[in-house]
Amino acid sequence: MKVVSVVGARPQFVKAALVSKALSLAGLREVLVHTGQHYNSNMSDVFFDELGVPAPDVNLEVGYGSHAAQTAAMLLGDEEVMLSEKQDWVLVYGDTNSTLAGALAAAKLHIPVAHVEAGLRSFNRAMPEELNRIAADHFSSLLLCPSQTAVKNLAAEGVTKGVHLVGDVMYDAVLYFIGRARECSTVLKKLNLEPKTYSLATVHRAENTDNPLRLRSIMAAFAKIDGPVVFPIHPRTIKMLLQEDKNADGPPSTTDHGSRWVEVQKKLPDNVQVIEAVGYLDMLMLEQHAKMILTDSGGIQKEAYWLDVPCVTLRDETEWVETVEAGWNVLAGADTQRIVNAVSMVAACPLPKKQLYRDGGVAGRCVGLLESYEINRN
């Protein structure tokens, strides 16, 4: 049995690390396709290196581009791979352009698709991720859901066949890698940070980075937070901070790294300590030792919960509603005062923790379902 796995962005590398190990342990052949959606070393190479994921069998090297250009290039590359591999399954993760391209290419070639993290919905179709995940779900034969909410979302759309509640494979990753992170990461020492003295922030979603009003409002909120705000910055956010007044398309022009970094820092409040994007192990340590996390990332919302850190989500909705219901996550959108109020609210009274998104072993369940479904199909 052969599986073609399509990945392209940091969270997908984390999920694939565990599922790829489970595929190998089950004796299944995997062909790993990296679309190149995240293409610089801090966003891509370091993840493969430190997570122990073998080098991709294929790297499409798609890189930067509009949604249409990026997805089209991925479709062409994915199709070429799938025509040559004679795979039994195509496995996709999450909700990126890589997810959509992999699922669509496979569906058009009549290859069964399995979707890890199926059924998530923000109910905001202005988000490209929402469109990607809806399409991927409806192309899939095997829908591997992280939560009961995801199962219900699919049922509301008439999708019940092939739907399984497996839990969240990112919890597997936290359990598996947290010990290694504690042993190997020196990020707090490098940044001269003491545990629980700083807030950690990430901003990468287009709804925040590509809207100057939202981005300025978020930065204004950071300025009102007590203590330092450590800000691992996404390339898209750098692009918008540097090009906000230039109306230019494409990534920032190649300039001296040092002077460019100075220009980025000038755009940020004085208490914001901007750093380049870090690897997964360093990020786990920054998360675990933060007193508060502010983010528009879905994965970091969950990691904050698992690591016992209060979270403020810089979006108007979240797919991970269970963390909000549990009282450890507050939705604040991009309004300055809402964010400041949310910081006070979630820091004051985090509620007792509940077990969310199963209890580990998710990668093995995903692979077991691939095997059993294939046997039944034959």
What pLDDT does 253 receive? Answer: 46
Taking the C-alpha atoms of residue 265 and residue 250, their distance in angstroms, rounded to an integer, is: 21
**Structural domains of the chain ordered from first start:** 2-168+359-377 (3.40.50.2000), 176-348 (3.40.50.2000)
What pLDDT does 38 receive? Answer: 60
Per residue in 11-48, pLDDT (tens digit) is 899 999 999 999 999 999 999 999 987 655 455 566 66
Q: Residue 50 — left, alpha, or beta (φ > 0 → left; ψ -120 to 50 → alpha)?
A: alpha
Query: Residue 372 has which token pair?
Result: 């059993």
pLDDT < 50 positions in the chain: 41, 244-255
> Does 38 qualify as catalytic in the annotation?
no
In eight-state DSSP terms, residue 374 is H
pTM assigned to the model: 0.91
Per the CB < 8 A criterion, the answer to whether 274 and 198 are in contact is no
Taking the C-alpha atoms of residue 378 and residue 373, their distance in angstroms, rounded to an integer, is: 9
Residue owning tokens 């199963």: 358
> How many degrees, rounded to 5, is the angle at CA 274 between CA 273 and CA 280?
110
Per the CB < 8 A criterion, the answer to whether 28 and 371 are in contact is yes
CA 183 to the chain's CA centroid: 24
Residue 202: name the closest of 241, 170, 232 by CA: 232
Per the CB < 8 A criterion, the answer to whether 250 and 64 are in contact is yes
Per residue in 278-324, pLDDT (tens digit) is 999 999 999 999 999 999 999 999 999 999 999 999 999 999 999 99
Query: What's the mean pLDDT when you consider all of the chain?
Result: 90
What pLDDT does 19 receive? Answer: 96
Per the CB < 8 A criterion, the answer to whether 357 and 168 are in contact is yes
What pLDDT does 251 receive? Answer: 46
Q: Which of 34, 204, 234, 289 is catalytic?
A: 204
**Could you tell me the CA-to-CA distances from 137 to 160, 290, 365 in Å, in that order?**
11, 35, 19
Per the CB < 8 A criterion, the answer to whether 269 and 340 are in contact is no
- How many residues does this entry show for the chain? 378
Residue owning tokens 């034969």: 141
What pLDDT does 252 receive? Answer: 45
In eight-state DSSP terms, residue 55 is P
Taking the C-alpha atoms of residue 320 and residue 311, their distance in angstroms, rounded to an integer, is: 12
What are the DSSP calls for 249-309, one per residue?
-SSPPP--HHHHHHHHHHTS-TTEEEEE---HHHHHHHHHH-SEEEES-HHHHHHHHHTT-
